[in-house]
Structure 1
């Protein structure tokens, strides 16, 4: 994260004080639960006691007595785990049948108010960090800064601002059009100056923008390389939307940090490219695969016909050693409300991921992919006290992620 981002986070993170047995510690929170997943695994910790001080985890004990003066919250037999991290959301989209039309009808202030509601929906589901990969008018940046002052009102937001796209390219209506190497460099600089946390670039077309096609290239390797060079010069990672095979090849050649979707789409299906998957693994590029649909909604026919191919490639990426995290793309339509991420974790298990790997994909691995792994995604001293408690054992049954019993954000209980 850029230095400005770290400074903002310091506004509400105090320095944790390690508790000393027998000393009265005023303001400390002690959370008991039946078990805990620490973000790494492979097994649950039995009867943990998590001590929280000034918004951060001060200590994780295997049982024991809380320090005198600590406020004790007993969650009974629930399983405690790090708050979930959604690596790809759009708070500006409302999850309706016509999210683009809804944006066009609303003012910036109306959109921002709706984004606040979407943020609360995320948080209520235990999604305590989101990477927002495309808004209008830097509204996610504004909301991010609001939530620094009031973290209990929503998840921590890692904001990209308007995605960098070609004129009339995918999501051009969000206001991020830039053409050519010089245009892309200028667009990245402009976002850095506005204080974004990540640069989002549309390397291929997309499904929700008429006139573009997901399998077709928008930016070539020169433009993508310019985006990466300029972003890295400002200390920012680059997340590239790439569905088509050629777009994925260009993203790998440019040295991007994450590939979003990475669906290997072709004009009439899905390609199988073990060589390209091996190249992604060698380069250490993280794939933020798009998973998660609430029950009762069938994918559009064009997507449904490709679903088996998509999932087969996700399994190939796992087997090849690619770091795969889960990004829901929440907000883009009715199957994708802003609390859909737990269904994405379940789809990873259906793809053959062990439950512990699926949990990492929405906690510790996702945190590293989003450049916040030093303070998010684990139950460990010094990490943010963004916590989720669920009824059941998610290592045995990943659907337990949907049985939320408590949510904590920066040490404050919000559910």
Structure 2
């Protein structure tokens, strides 16, 4: 058994901090959390001084196969399997070093994330715990078609979901609309009709799998919610003209327990957002407040890998982005820990610092409730009780 001591601890729920905590770890799990006191004789104690202990971050949306360069699609399509898997390993390690101890990979090529899942399960220092969707289901020449998940028609999309279930994925990802990353696809247009969307939801649930929808656009969000999807990725309700947070759809999300996986945050120093995006920001902030006030579950993802400012390891900037959009530091931390873990089906393993859960712990230098930017620079990272950074 070993123990961690620090000045403070955030347990993943809050609302405040535990002062002078002592966190005991045994066999990769949290054995106890105490406010003050001394461990039993013989327990090895690591004192992290004025740091705050936090649950390891859970990234609900990443792409380990994308290298966050200037030619993401070209480099991926030109890479052979061995090269691509090695890049994914490097991306996983970069995420872990930033305090992300669990990732949900929502789009790879050739189900390589399933192989990485096994590697990191065996060796905690190799990367975060990995949940994987395999190639996202999409239409011919649709968003991310180059990842290999093309399917159309009710029979075709059902077969695609069955294939993923047989492969052992953790979640089914569907490109309900197009996306900016794929030339020729329409970010505002639906790629599938109601019958196909309902068929995919029914098949995923028949296999006991959650199903999540790529949808920035209001039209795609409405269609996915109507079809019974469990989660919406991005969920920014954009239109060609601006932003339209449809209250009827939002109320349906709250009633049906549909989670919004918000892909916020980016590394500083990048180019300013294009004018059409900058114009949407005030309405986006108001819309996110509407989601929160309506009771929609909000979890935090990164979409890491798609652009240079979304490099692997940039996830903590999503927390400060949430604060910038009007959320409290506690709300942002919950979205990145306990809520994200629950949204990924891992509430009994991840996201909180309580006895019985995995000893995935990070430490930041100081009080993140007073200075949320401290999460950008963790001073220690532990996964399954093993110090990995």
TM tier, smaller = over 0.9
Match of 2:360 among 361, 367, 386: 386
Deviation of the 1:254 alpha carbon: 1.2
Deviation of the 1:302 alpha carbon: 4.2
**Aligned equivalent of 1:19:** none
What SS does the corresponding residue of 1:164 show, helix, strand or coil?
Answer: coil
Deviation of the 1:311 alpha carbon: 2.7
**Aligned equivalent of 2:179:** 206
Distance 1:108 1:347 in 2: 35
**Aligned equivalent of 1:15:** none
Matched, 1:290 2:243: no
**1:50-101 Cα shifts (integer Å, max 9, x gaps):** 1101000011111111122222111111000100111100000000011001
Distance 1:285 1:316 in 2: 15
- Contact 1:289–1:314 (CA under 8 A) maintained in structure 2: no
What SS does the corresponding residue of 2:141 show, helix, strand or coil?
Answer: coil
In structure 2, stretches of 5+ residues that fail to align are none
**Aligned equivalent of 1:39:** 12
**Aligned equivalent of 1:114:** 87
Matched, 1:136 2:109: yes
Distance 1:220 1:264 in 2: 19
**Aligned equivalent of 2:211:** 238
**Aligned equivalent of 1:265:** 238
Matched, 1:312 2:289: no
**Which TM-score applies when normalising by structure 1?**
0.92
**Aligned equivalent of 2:344:** 370
Match of 1:98 among 71, 90, 93: 71
**1:368-397 Cα shifts (integer Å, max 9, x gaps):** 011101110000000000100001111122
Aligned Cα root-mean-square deviation (Å)? 1.1
- Contact 2:218–2:245 (CA under 8 A) maintained in structure 1: no
**Aligned equivalent of 2:222:** 249
Distance 1:216 1:121 in 2: 34
In structure 1, stretches of 5+ residues that fail to align are 1-27
Distance 2:267 2:184 in 1: 28
- Contact 2:266–2:309 (CA under 8 A) maintained in structure 1: yes
Which runs of structure 2 are paired with 1:184-223 in the superposition (5 Å)? 184-223=157-196
Distance 2:110 2:277 in 1: 30
**Aligned equivalent of 1:7:** none
**Aligned equivalent of 1:347:** 321
Distance 1:248 1:310 in 2: 15
- Contact 2:5–2:45 (CA under 8 A) maintained in structure 1: yes
Distance 1:306 1:167 in 2: 30
Distance 1:307 1:331 in 2: 22
Distance 1:277 1:397 in 2: 31
Distance 2:372 2:205 in 1: 36
Runs of 4+ with deviation above 6 angstroms: none
**Aligned equivalent of 1:168:** 141
**Aligned equivalent of 1:277:** 250
**Aligned equivalent of 1:86:** 59
**Aligned equivalent of 1:360:** 334
Matched, 1:152 2:95: no
